[in-house]
Amino acid sequence: MHKYNDLIPIYEWLPSFNKNKLLIIAGPCSIETEYDTINIFKEIKNTNIVDIIRAGIWKPRTKPGSFEGSGIEGLKWLNKAKDIYNMPIAIEVANASHVKEAIKYNVDIIWIGARTTVNPFSMQEIADVLNGIDIPVMIKNPVNPDLDLWIGGIERIYNAGIKKIAAIHRGFSLKDNTPFRNMPLFDIVNKLSDKIPNLPIICDPSHIAGNSNLISFIAQKSIEYNKTDGLMIECHSNPEKAWTDAKQQITPKMLLNIINAIKKYSDNDDFIEINVLRDKINNIDYDLLNKIAKRMQLSKLVGKYKKHNKISIQQPDYWKEMLSKKIQYSNTLNLNENFIKIIMQMIHSESVEIQKYNI
pTM: 0.75
Which of 12-21, 114-123, 348-357 is least confident? 12-21
Which of 136-140, 159-163, 178-182, 321-325 is least confident? 178-182
Q: Domain residues for 322? A: 273-357
Q: Show which of 268, 284, 319 is a domain's final residue.
A: 268
Residue 3 lies in a domain: no
238-284 pLDDT tens trace: 999 999 999 999 999 999 999 988 875 555 555 455 666 776 787 78
What confidence score (pLDDT) does residue 63 get?
Answer: 72
What confidence score (pLDDT) does residue 121 get?
Answer: 97
Residue 160 lies in a domain: yes
Confidence of residue 226 (pLDDT cuts 50, 70, 90): low
Residues 263 and 277 in one domain: no
CATH number at residue 317: 1.20.59.10
What confidence score (pLDDT) does residue 273 get?
Answer: 59
Residues 280 and 255 in one domain: no
Residue 2 lies in a domain: no
Residues 241 and 306 in one domain: no
Mean predicted confidence (pLDDT) in 130-140: 96
* CA distances (Å), origin 105, targets 34, 78, 79: 16, 9, 7
What confidence score (pLDDT) does residue 1 get?
Answer: 44
Domain count, the chain: 2
Strand pairing category for 89-93 and 230-234: unpaired
What confidence score (pLDDT) does residue 280 get?
Answer: 73
62-88 pLDDT tens trace: 677 778 889 999 999 999 999 999 999
Please write down the HEC assignment for all residues of 237-273: CCHHHCCCCHHHCECHHHHHHHHHHHHHHHCCCCCHH
CATH number at residue 169: 3.20.20.70
Q: Show which of 268, 293, 323 is a domain's final residue.
A: 268
Residues 179 and 240 in one domain: yes
Arithmetic mean of pLDDT over the chain: 90
Residue 92 lies in a domain: yes
CA angle, residues 98, 122, 14, in degrees to nearest 5: 55
Residue 1 lies in a domain: no
E strands, 1-70, in order: 23-27, 52-55
Q: What angle do helix axes 252-266 and 215-224 make, rounded to 10 degrees? A: 30
Residues 281 and 233 in one domain: no
Sign of the alpha-carbon torsion through 317, 320, 325, 328: negative
Residues 228 and 300 in one domain: no
Exposure of 339 by Cβ count < 10 A (0-12 exposed, 13-18 middle, 19+ buried)?
A: exposed
Gap between the Cα atoms of 23 and 235, Å rounded: 15
Which of 19-33, 94-108, 213-227, 277-291 is least confident? 277-291
Residue 207 lies in a domain: yes
150-182 pLDDT tens trace: 999 999 999 999 999 999 999 999 876 678 999
Residues 111 and 168 in one domain: yes
Mean predicted confidence (pLDDT) in 209-214: 93
